[in-house]
Chain A
Amino acid sequence: MGSVVSQVASPKLPPVVLVLGDEELLVSRAIAETTAQAKAADAGAEVREFDAGSLLPGELAELLSPSLFGGRRVAVLKNGQDAKKDLVPVIMAYVADPDPEVTLLVTHAGGAKGKAFGDSLQKAGATVVPAVKIAKHKDRIDFVTGEFRRLGGKCGADAAEALLEAVGHDLRELAAACSQLVADTGGRIDLATVARYYRGKAEVSGFSVADAAVAGDTAAALEALHWALHTGVDPVPIADALADGVRTVARVAAAGRGNAYQMAATLGMPAWKIEKAQRQARGWSPDGLVSAMRAAAECNEAVKGGSEDRAYAIERTIFAFAKARQGGPR
């Protein structure tokens, strides 16, 4: 492209950064990282923030003009999509010939508003940091596992799944939860850990128990059950979740190998659920699934009043799953 920007840009400290997207956590992370890089290069680096919607062209010129005393500077221009018509040409003129001592960081929501400005910055060679909202379940799981990795921890997909169900979709809350778990446990996060920290949410407990039981992790299933009951979760939704776990694995296994996204429509399940079930299906035989479904039906009856000890009925079902998974019919 031969743009001026790429010629003067050092790989460490890009002169122009475009943070594209409206996921608040990712946006503020990008700002923090850029700032940290600048401070690493020059401990006395100066950081100033402005709002593009209210910044006047004159102020911008002053902000970007060479400092009398030298030293690194970071200029953060928030809400680039709101930049006024007269501001945009001033910015673009600067971007064509940036000061190597300055990093200009522009955040842009990435929508239709101010799209031309965002596009121009990209064309001019700005380093783009994506910060779009996460919409897909699989991406959320990736975020959680990535987050643990970033913090020096480790977590399985099942634990990430349980954490998502417990905490919800807000990335900031998820990130906080990840950092708390890593701080408290030293970094090895499994299903039982999540169940222990986020107990009392019925659906989490039920599905955590079922996921572990169907995956053949009897110890984790029993621990999740223990915590669920300990915190007053009703056994009925847990029993329903156990049946749903077997049903899902059986239907996915019966559908044969295939692309989860293509199977989603025929099975009437989201692709992430299919992918999870495909992993869980390893180790199950058809006869084993028949036995497990029968155990699930018996469990359903027991927790609805047929049994004196409803907790024991669920425990027995978890053992029945383990046995069915290994050896087919009882």
Chain B
Amino acid sequence: MLPSVDVFAHLTGQPGAVETLRSAAAGVGMTHAWLFTGPAGSGRSVAARAFAAALQCVSEPKGCGVCTGCHTVQTGSHPDVRFVVPEGLSIPVALMRELVLRSATSPASGRWQVLVVEDADRLTEAAGNALLKAVEEPPERTVFLLCAPSDHPDDIPLTIRSRCRVVNLRQPAAEAVAELLVSRDGVDPALATLVAAAAQGHVGRARRLARDPEARARRAAVLGVPRQLSGIGACFDLASGLIASAEVEADAATAQSDASERSAMETALGAGGTGKGAAGAVRGAAGQLKELERRQKSRSTRAQRDALDRALLDLAGFYRDVLVQQWKAPVAPVHEDALPMTGAAAQRWTKESTLRRLESIMECRAAIEANVKPRIAVEAMLLRLWQG
């Protein structure tokens, strides 16, 4: 066995989880429903995907990483592995029902029918119920792999949770992330160390920071926010800036797929058709395009919130670094390059006010997740950061 090439090799710093999954794929402790939990970036979906590959592996040891089973799962082309990835804010019930139905059929070529739900915390209540029915009485050869931030009832209904085996993933250490960036992506070691710490254990975020100068520029702008909080007016201006930047980032991420989806659908619907029945077809087509636009809008809202949340996490890292220095704690800073600023703030503020500031950022993130208008939440937060 060569651990460096098998399907679990990309699970950075998770020896416990890898052990569990390897045994299950080999038949020890296998069950029909799994729940992968862990903070964002810890590799929940990486783990689920690796496990799915190991389950379809046609060679030995299971999860070899080279056989057609492992390979097709990893490239997303295995006929018996389906992924549910929410593009909008939630996973709709219609999609869930369809996938549950299809997962009940016998595997076409693999050993199992595998259904991977990447953000099970975004299931609507109805979608959750549809999934629950399937998890309660799983078909003989069907496996459900669910991913969520935690097994808290806020994230996953207790009824589903109680039928799952939980695999908890840890936040990988910054050193492990930096190592991965250097060895796999060829990132310069100094930059890798900086961005791995700045990404706070989120592998995908670290890679983006290392590769994309615009992502680094956005981060620098966010780290400049505390210094610019000079008064009430500045709070509102900076809030506008943060919101606009999240919109630009989200637009850049979704614009291309929006356009290609639309033109693909227009081609499929034969836009511009004439003759008998064309009017009815056009009406139907208009409905489908409208539905596509609705889904794209929902996805774009999600993308904006995610972008804003990354900015808020960067900001939280700033105040966390201030606090760490005030307590003289022997831990590494999140934002190495902002040390002059966080150090100065550590001298000037009281520990209590730093804590209050950090608290207001966390409340803002929770508020946005609870559907508060992002602008209002960010304005309230920046005013409190200014007030101290």
Q: Which residue of A lies closest to B367 (CB)?
A: A301
Q: Is the CB of B373 within 8 A of A294?
A: no
Contact assessment for B383 and A247 in the assembled complex, using a CB-CB cutoff below 8 Å:
no
**Contacts A247-B236, A251-B236, A290-B387 known; A306 to B380 CB distance under 8 Å?**
no
* Chain A residues near B376 (CB-CB < 8 A): 240, 243, 293, 296-297, 300
- In the complex, are the beta carbons of A290 and B371 less than 8 A apart? no
Question: Is A250 a contact of B232 with CB atoms below 8 Å?
Answer: yes
Interface string of B372-384 (1 = CB under 8 A from A): 1100110111011
Q: Does B231 contact A (CB under 8 A)?
A: yes
Query: In the assembly, what is the distance between CA of A305 and CA of B125, in Å?
Result: 15
Q: Do the beta carbons of B380 and A304 come within 8 Å of each other?
A: no
Say yes or no: A287 contacts B387, CB within 8 Å.
yes
Residues in B whose Cβ lies below 8 Å from that of A289 = 232, 383
Least CB distance, B172 to chain A, in whole angstroms? 32
Contacts of A255 in B (CB 8 A): 233
Say yes or no: B367 contacts A294, CB within 8 Å. no
A residues less than 8 Å from B371 (CB atoms) = 301, 304-305
CB distance from B286 to the nearest CB of A (A): 29
What count of chain B residues pass the 8 Å CB interface test? 21
Tell me if A254 and B384 are in contact (CB < 8 A): no
Chain A residues with CB below 8 A from B384, complex form: 290, 294
Residues of A within 8 A of B387 (CB): 286-287, 290, 329
A258 to B161 CA separation, bound complex (whole angstroms)? 60
Residue in B231, B232, B364, B377 with the greatest tally of chain A CB atoms within 10 Å: B232
Q: Tell me which residues across on chain B come within 8 A of A287, comparing CB atoms.
A: 387
Chain B's closest residue to A267 (CB) is: B233
Q: Are B370 and A301 in contact (CB under 8 A)?
A: yes
Asked if A253 is at the interface of the complex by the 8 Å CB criterion, the answer is yes
Residue from B232, B236, B383, B386 in contact with A294 in the complex, judged by beta carbons closer than 8 Å: B383
Contact A296 B380 (CB under 8 A): yes
Give the residues from 242 to 300 in chain B that come closer than 8 angstroms, CB to CB, to chain A. none
Residues B220-241 near A (CB distance < 8 A) = 231-236
- B367 touching A297 by the CB < 8 A rule? yes
CB-CB nearest in chain A for B236: A251
Whether the pair B232, A297 counts as a contact (CB closer than 8 A) is: no
When chains A and B are docked, how far (Å) is the Cα of A329 from the Cα of B370?
24
**Taking beta carbons and an 8 Å cutoff, which residues of A are in contact with B?**
240, 243, 247, 250-251, 253-255, 286-287, 289-290, 293-294, 296-298, 300-301, 304-306, 329
Given contacts A243-B379, A301-B371, 10 further A-B contacts (CB under 8 A): A251-B232, A254-B232, A254-B236, A289-B383, A290-B384, A290-B386, A293-B376, A297-B364, A300-B373, A329-B387
